[in-house]
């Protein structure tokens, strides 16, 4: 093992803590996707996403063939006018998750519920499931 610095008042030839893909790392650090738990039973597939603080209209669930895309957008703006000074704050967040589904997943009968910050999708299994084309899923 070698020392990180050589002599006092001498610079290293290259910086020690520079990551070559820093811009890519920064991009990944600022984008957020919700955590997902995927499970299956004999009757259905279950996808659970942790998305607290959102409302039902913020979500879009779309199935095309055997691909399920779940996305969400939220805009928040606040205004305050105190002591003659106006303050406006805006926050916008968007995310998207996609899942490849097995052949026996019947996307036409997919049900979704959103309660207490958890979005739960129930995708029934059907051996005779045909490709139902493009389907938008309503959230109860």
Query: Quick check: is 1 in a domain?
Result: no
Residues 22-74 have pLDDT tens digits of 455 445 444 688 999 999 999 999 999 999 988 899 999 999 888 999 999 98
Query: Can you give the residue range of the structural domain that contains 98?
Result: 33-136
What pLDDT is attached to residue 13?
A: 54
Query: Quick check: is 25 in a domain?
Result: no
In whole angstroms, what is the distance from residue 12 CA to residue 97 CA? 43
Query: Quick check: is 40 in a domain?
Result: yes
Q: How many helices (H) and strands (E) does the chain have?
A: 1, 8
Residue 95 near residue 77 (C-beta atoms within 8 A) = no
Query: Quick check: is 68 in a domain?
Result: yes
């Amino acid at each position: 093992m070698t020392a990180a610095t050589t002599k006092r008042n001498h610079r290293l030839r290259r910086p020690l803590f520079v990551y070559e893909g820093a811009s890519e790392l920064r991009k990944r650090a600022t984008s957020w996707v919700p955590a997902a738990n995927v499970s299956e039973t004999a009757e259905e597939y279950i996808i659970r996403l942790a998305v607290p603080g959102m409302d039902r209209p913020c979500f879009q669930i779309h199935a095309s063939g055997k691909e399920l895309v779940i996305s969400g957008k939220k805009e928040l703006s606040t205004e305050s006018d105190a002591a003659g000074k106006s303050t406006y704050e805006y926050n916008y967040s968007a995310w998207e998750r996609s899942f490849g589904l097995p052949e026996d997943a019947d996307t036409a009968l997919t049900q979704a519920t959103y309660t207490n910050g958890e979005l739960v999708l129930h995708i029934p299994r059907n051996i005779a499931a045909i490709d139902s084309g493009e389907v938008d899923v309503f959230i109860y």
